[in-house]
Structure 1
Amino acid sequence: MGPSTSGLGKIFRSARQALDLTQGEVGRAVGYSASAISRIERNQMRVDLATRLRLAQELRIPPERVSGFPAAAGPVIATVGSVPMPDEEDAMRRRNLLGALAAGATAVVTGSGTAAALPAAAWDLGDVLFRLPSAGPAPLQVLASGTASAREAFTAARYSDLGNSLPGLLAAAEATRDASAGRARQQANAILARAYVLASELAAKQHSDAAWVAADRALAAARASGMPIPVGEAARVLAITMRRSGSCSSAVRFLTTEAAALDPAEERTGAVRTTLILSAAYSAASGGDRTTALALLDEADESVERRPQAPGGLFTVEATKTQVDVYRIGVHNTLGTPDEGVELARGLNIGLMPTAERRARAWTDTARMWHALGNGQEAFAALRLVEQEAAQEVRRPALRALTSNLLYSPARPPGLREFAVRTGAVPA
């Protein structure tokens, strides 16, 4: 049984009081009224995971303390945008929107103006998410095109390009959402969710805490859109941040619950459902639960056998047999049984995977497998293929650490030192 919701309000109240914040101050920070915060603290309003994580972030509560509570039932405040604002805050938002209108959105989205011209180093998003540039509303078609271009940069592993474009894209999408109503608002929320999914993916690659912020915002916008596919995509990246914080069992429960809400018979939602199951399998392995991890992988296998070709458009994971096998290798690495992935690795045709980012990730899992088995030569060969597929991928902190470990192993493969210098694993 999970923890009772009766203790959740006390956690929030104690943390708020310890920080000497009023209910109004907390409400303004997360987009709620003081009375809503009061009801949450008195356990008179049950809130969903995204809301709990937003409050935890503001109140400096470890996310695992609030993530394991039962999901909200009945009406829930799911997004900042859906909550009526106090008069003062509403007036401030109107002033901000009017200021953004003067900036113009097209330059922000396309990169033809200065708002998106951030230095390349800014692609570790960090505080950028809290200081988005000014932007005005943009046509939905322009935003959709900008998001498609951002996704293309991610899947091609052009992370610097993506990091430079995301702040402007997010600012324009938020301004458009705030200025829209009805169906247009739902569509703007879906675009905003997809942009924040990319921001979370990018931050996660740098082991940045900004991944939490972006994933939370992605899920809030996705739920406001009412569209199941953005919800599934956002749920996956939020669960990744939960897993990386150590809340593996909570991530598994969250992912499997979200997967169960998607129709496996419908082509696109079925593909998203499979990606959630794959992420749940990896989360279970990260928590040491071999039985659950392998059972979820078997379920994903059955799913792709029923529908072998997944549609395009998913952010990082395609629902294919090859992708399931790559996840299986990663799960065995995580469980400490890398030898069980060797035959799978030898049978993979990584070159057929659809994007450079996914091919690089597959070679990364292969490199980790060989490293765990003490075969430095094969591990280095896989790392060189990562670099061949995606030069920026091999400079990620996790890959630099793997390279450094190989460099100081007893048997150093020829050329490894030069590779380590070239990729930033060691100083020149």
Structure 2
Amino acid sequence: MGHPVDVGAVIRGARCSARLTQAQLGSRCGYSASAISRIESNRLRPDYQSMVRLASVLGIGLDQLNGSGVPEGAVVATVALRSSDEEDAVRRRELLAKALAAGTTALVGAGPASASAATDNPAPGLEDVLFRLPAVEPVPLTLLTERTAAARRAFRAARYADLEGALPGLLAAAESTRDAVTGRARQQACALLARAYVVASELAAKQHSDAAWVAADRALTAARASGMPVPIGEASRVLAITMRRSGRPLSAVRLLSREADNLDSTEADAGAVRTTLLLTAAYSAATGGERTTALSLLDEAQEDVERLPEVPELFTVDATRAQVDVYRIGALTALGTPDEGVKVVAGLNIAHLPTAERRARAWTDAARMWHTLGDGPRTFAALRRVEAEASQEVRRPALRALTSDLLYGPTRVRGLREFAVRTGALAV
């Protein structure tokens, strides 16, 4: 007898290969995105007719879905799926009403209290909302600039729940404004729209949401329409991140290298964006096992940083020597040589990184390094620093998985169970 089929994994793999979001697959099959999500996580088992429909839409053989394999211990329901257009319409209306009500207030007025009110998923509903933005009137470019800057501040402060609440309204306003203006004003509106989608893609990527693909693609389309090199570079970077996350790291390297070559390294903003492209390319190469390429790109980024006449503030990631070190730690761990990153961590003053999101990312890379080295106490210490910097960051799926792995590892770490419960890695 052969091994049982992991139906959820097969469907998710085929969907990702077809570059479909859960919402898109659900729409083509007449199902809700939430139903597709439950199928892929093996919490819902479709009946035979539903299997036939899914296989047809995904272009795979029905034999690939035959079997009853689900992860051991999984709780599933076996049902015939039915179209839930009415349910989805109600849900979208509720999401859009919430987004419009939040508006800029969610970003500008948010403080520590709202930041601490973290949800399990800082971007619930974003995938649905991207396909049906609310209808809003155009706004003056000055106001659109302010709202886009507020979104940037929320991301850099790791206030993800606040950002998720305001993004639909911001994106809708940017789309409407872009369509209402011409000439130079349209170029500026396109650049702002691109940056709004960049931050949407960054947010979705943190949750491994398929919305990252959609937002990144729209960001690059808007950026190219602006004709401005910096937004084009920023959008190319988030698109490459989605490519890497979907299992195409070397394609991401090629995209980033090509876009980096199009930027003038002697001009401050363009040179800084070029550096961030090289850093993302280096990490992508490392995840693809290309050690020589990864280290060469890191060295090139470091040389670029040292040549920059100043350190301009970019939209989500700054080009600094400290950022080069953070990416080097992540790349060395991905390459399977985390011991080489220990010295880098020792020489890095994470407290001097400019934003909460970047400090949390640095501690995350340190935690992964220590975990790969088998040092449970230091892994947990780094995770605690992530929580101290950004409470919503530590609830990301990747961080929960790392916490869970540490919890069930061979080393008992004092306080880890309480941390796992607090951050959602362990249900009680």
Deviations 1:314-361 (A, max 9, x none): 233211111101100000110111001000001110000000000000
Which residue pairs with 2:315 in the alignment? 315
Residue 60 of structure 1: CA displacement?
A: 6.9
Which residue pairs with 1:51 in the alignment? none
Question: CA 1:137/1:60 → structure 2, altered by over 3 Å: closer, same or farther?
Answer: farther
Question: CA 1:148/1:403 → structure 2, altered by over 3 Å: closer, same or farther?
Answer: same
Which residue pairs with 1:133 in the alignment? 134
Residue 133 of structure 1: CA displacement?
A: 1.3
Take 1:317 and 1:352, find their aligned partners in 2: how far apart are those partners? 14
Q: After the TM superposition, which residues 372-383 of structure 1 pair with which residues of structure 2 at under 5 Å, given as runs?
A: 372-383=372-383
Residue 235 of structure 1: CA displacement?
A: 0.3
Which residue pairs with 2:165 in the alignment? 164
Would the aligned equivalents of 2:322 and 2:348 in 1 still touch at CA under 8 Å?
Answer: yes
Take 1:159 and 1:108, find their aligned partners in 2: how far apart are those partners? 13
Deviations 1:400-420 (A, max 9, x none): 000001101111210000000
3-state SS, counterpart of residue 217 of structure 1: helix
Deviations 1:197-248 (A, max 9, x none): 0000000000001000000000000000011110000000000001111111
Query: Aligned partner of 2:133: which letter?
Result: L
Which residue pairs with 2:92 in the alignment? none
Residue 250 of structure 1: CA displacement?
A: 1.0
Which residue pairs with 1:258 in the alignment? 259
Which residue pairs with 1:275 in the alignment? 276
Which residue pairs with 2:204 in the alignment? 203
TM-score (norm 2): 0.73
Q: Does 123-132 or 358-367 show the bigger shift?
A: 123-132
3-state SS, counterpart of residue 135 of structure 2: coil
Question: CA 1:106/1:407 → structure 2, altered by over 3 Å: closer, same or farther?
Answer: closer
Stretches of structure 1 lacking an aligned partner (at least 5 in a row): 1-14, 16-58, 63-102, 113-118
3-state SS, counterpart of residue 354 of structure 1: coil
TM-score (norm 1): 0.73
Runs of 4+, deviation exceeding 6 Å: 59-62, 105-108
User: Identical aligned pairs, as a percentage?
Assistant: 70
3-state SS, counterpart of residue 130 of structure 1: coil
Would the aligned equivalents of 1:236 and 1:279 in 2 still touch at CA under 8 Å?
Answer: yes
Query: Aligned partner of 2:104: which letter?
Result: T
Residue 110 of structure 1: CA displacement?
A: 2.6
Which residue pairs with 1:110 in the alignment? 104
Query: Aligned partner of 1:255: which letter?
Result: L
Query: Aligned partner of 1:231: which letter?
Result: I
Structure 2 residue 123 is matched with structure 1 residue 123: yes
Take 2:187 and 2:257, find their aligned partners in 1: how far apart are those partners? 25
Query: Aligned partner of 2:421: which letter?
Result: V
Deviations 1:256-305 (A, max 9, x none): 00000000000110000000000000111111100100000010111112
Query: Aligned partner of 1:414: which letter?
Result: R
Aligned length: 324
Stretches of structure 2 lacking an aligned partner (at least 5 in a row): 1-17, 19-56, 61-96, 107-117
Which residue pairs with 1:176 in the alignment? 177
3-state SS, counterpart of residue 254 of structure 1: helix
Which residue pairs with 2:110 in the alignment? none
3-state SS, counterpart of residue 236 of structure 1: helix
Would the aligned equivalents of 1:189 and 1:224 in 2 still touch at CA under 8 Å?
Answer: yes
Which residue pairs with 2:395 in the alignment? 395
Which residue pairs with 1:301 in the alignment? 302
Which residue pairs with 2:365 in the alignment? 365
Which residue pairs with 1:19 in the alignment? none
Which residue pairs with 2:424 in the alignment? 424
Question: CA 1:131/1:137 → structure 2, altered by over 3 Å: closer, same or farther?
Answer: same
Which residue pairs with 1:53 in the alignment? none
CA RMSD of aligned residues (A): 2.3
Question: CA 1:192/1:142 → structure 2, altered by over 3 Å: closer, same or farther?
Answer: same
Would the aligned equivalents of 1:106 and 1:142 in 2 still touch at CA under 8 Å?
Answer: no
Deviations 1:67-101 (A, max 9, x none): xxxxxxxxxxxxxxxxxxxxxxxxxxxxxxxxxxx
3-state SS, counterpart of residue 318 of structure 1: coil
Which residue pairs with 1:241 in the alignment? 242
Would the aligned equivalents of 1:222 and 1:234 in 2 still touch at CA under 8 Å?
Answer: yes
Question: CA 1:336/1:122 → structure 2, altered by over 3 Å: closer, same or farther?
Answer: closer
Would the aligned equivalents of 1:403 and 1:420 in 2 still touch at CA under 8 Å?
Answer: yes
Take 1:223 and 1:397, find their aligned partners in 2: how far apart are those partners? 32
Take 1:61 and 1:198, find their aligned partners in 2: how far apart are those partners? 33
Which residue pairs with 2:227 in the alignment? 226
Query: Aligned partner of 2:211: which letter?
Result: A
3-state SS, counterpart of residue 413 of structure 1: coil
Would the aligned equivalents of 1:308 and 1:321 in 2 still touch at CA under 8 Å?
Answer: no
Would the aligned equivalents of 2:100 and 2:166 in 1 still touch at CA under 8 Å?
Answer: no
Would the aligned equivalents of 2:122 and 2:160 in 1 still touch at CA under 8 Å?
Answer: no
Query: Aligned partner of 1:335: which letter?
Result: L
Take 1:107 and 1:373, find their aligned partners in 2: how far apart are those partners? 47
Deviations 1:356-375 (A, max 9, x none): 00000000000000000000
3-state SS, counterpart of residue 270 of structure 1: helix
Take 2:137 and 2:424, find their aligned partners in 1: how far apart are those partners? 39
Which residue pairs with 2:292 in the alignment? 291
Question: CA 1:372/1:183 → structure 2, altered by over 3 Å: closer, same or farther?
Answer: same
Would the aligned equivalents of 1:108 and 1:169 in 2 still touch at CA under 8 Å?
Answer: no
Take 2:102 and 2:266, find their aligned partners in 1: how far apart are those partners? 39
Q: Does 119-128 or 333-342 show the bigger shift?
A: 119-128
Deviations 1:120-176 (A, max 9, x none): 767231111012111110000101000100110000000000000000000010001
Query: Aligned partner of 1:396: which letter?
Result: R
Q: After the TM superposition, which residues 90-105 of structure 1 pair with which residues of structure 2 at under 5 Å, given as runs?
A: none
